[in-house]
Structure 1
């Protein structure tokens, strides 16, 4: 799965996007370094810390803070983003770097509680919890693609959320189920919550992100679920040349970054565990 996610993160942008971004504010920001590496700044007392080096200079965030992460895999992934830059630095392709900078600088003074509240706001309007009340073929498709995702999330979290088939009604979500989801979110650390928020906002769905986070579905499947109605409509009315494909790949890239960022920040010792068992 990680290999598939990494491939999506490295995906080549379309010519249209490249043309636009070459005229962006990043167009004149040339690559100013030759080598990229990761430095182990751990204190020797069991507190891991890793920095990204650009020509032996530690990478700093937009707020001027030296970027240090607890997860070595995350540090390696961020270093890969910087190493992948060519003649010019395109920050719009550096999703993990952007998430790390945001979590480090915390420009909006977020807390675990405020991030959790913002994520919970998507529950009542979750894309996957609103089935169509007309177009039988669309309803059948939603039952095929969405129902297993909802069931999987319910089973994994011991909840019983039920979708609605009318835009006039809201999904059936009990106070107990809300509390269980809230507690699950709060069980994540501050950095991991940034990844979850990024994915939920991208998919407009907590169900899709929760299923993706538990490896119930793949990134491609999560993106398809989030865009199911649009995909259905394009099969009827036709696809706008390259536009819908770009939207799909953009969503896949965002979800890939979200699940990687969440996973790496929730599994700091993954490399050490592997080395210890070798």
Structure 2
């Protein structure tokens, strides 16, 4: 059931969402130098020098030993990392037959930690290849490559820092967006309160039925405290996740300010549009009352669509859904 709901959510997404600018718009000065002729070199590596990222060809002694492209750590920060240096993007089954890789011309793509970008399914590999193929001549823009970023997170960050990720998510659970209820003491606040009761209470009922503990709602900006049993049940669920699932949950929770929404999305309780409606509930009420600010609200809406849709798509593709 959960898998079919995720699959339906993926089908409902406009593909343009994944090429929309994300929230990580970092303005810095970066330079890029093209590498040597392809006939002279079969690999490229990136190196940082000051405020620039330079693309260098390897020494003559190493030319025959490498045929890969290693992305710099700055790829994970959203910076423009250099000009497009490849013409063709394709996928290839990993040499050991375990997974799929992305090829930029004849070079195998590697992660910032210089490991082959080995993906679990051909569907995910093709989607990431499409992100690379989308890049323009003047620069490679990581903020238009959300699936690539999530793949690097699942392959490198999650296996190493899994306990810390779970600890952080559990710590933030008490301040979850869906537990915070507006006061019912004035006209504007009462409108928010009524909408929260209508839209959020069904999700809280699901949380109670799923984990056996009734969530506590509160009106304090400083948050409240959930029952230890509910917190422990959530922590137990997180510990059972695989690396791709935990990466997706962590990404959604950070954007939604809600671990509950993240878990509900991954488990098929919420569709993507329903999740976005809950995240933007109060702001959308303000827009309805005072009007939409062009260049502000519309960009925020597009951005949250990318931040929420990308992990759901990533997780579905990693499971061949």
Q: Give me the TM-score of the superposition, normalised by structure 1.
A: 0.81
Q: Over aligned residue pairs, what C-alpha RMSD do you find?
A: 2.8
Matched position secondary structure for 1:59: strand
Aligned partner (choices 117, 136, 143) of residue 167 of structure 2: 117
Q: What is aligned with 2:153? A: 102
Q: Please say which structure displays the higher CA radius of gyration.
A: 2
Q: What is aligned with 1:146? A: 200
Aligned partner (choices 199, 205, 218) of residue 164 of structure 1: 218
Aligned partner (choices 7, 10, 25) of residue 15 of structure 2: 7
- In the alignment of these two chains, the number of paired residues is 259
CA deviation after TM superposition for structure 1 residue 215, in Å: 2.1
CA deviation after TM superposition for structure 1 residue 12, in Å: 4.6
Counterpart-to-counterpart distance in 2, 1:168 and 1:119: 17
Counterpart-to-counterpart distance in 2, 1:97 and 1:28: 14
Matched position secondary structure for 2:103: strand
1:138, 1:232 within 8 Å by CA — same for their partners in 2?
Answer: yes
2:173, 2:258 within 8 Å by CA — same for their partners in 1?
Answer: yes
Q: What is aligned with 1:33? A: 86
Higher helix share: 1
Matched position secondary structure for 1:67: coil
2:81, 2:141 within 8 Å by CA — same for their partners in 1?
Answer: no
Segments of 5+ residues of structure 1 without an aligned counterpart are: 272-278
CA deviation after TM superposition for structure 1 residue 28, in Å: 7.5
Q: Give me the TM-score of the superposition, normalised by structure 2.
A: 0.71
Segments of 5+ residues of structure 2 without an aligned counterpart are: 1-8, 31-78
Counterpart-to-counterpart distance in 1, 2:119 and 2:162: 18
Counterpart-to-counterpart distance in 2, 1:50 and 1:146: 40
Counterpart-to-counterpart distance in 1, 2:196 and 2:168: 26
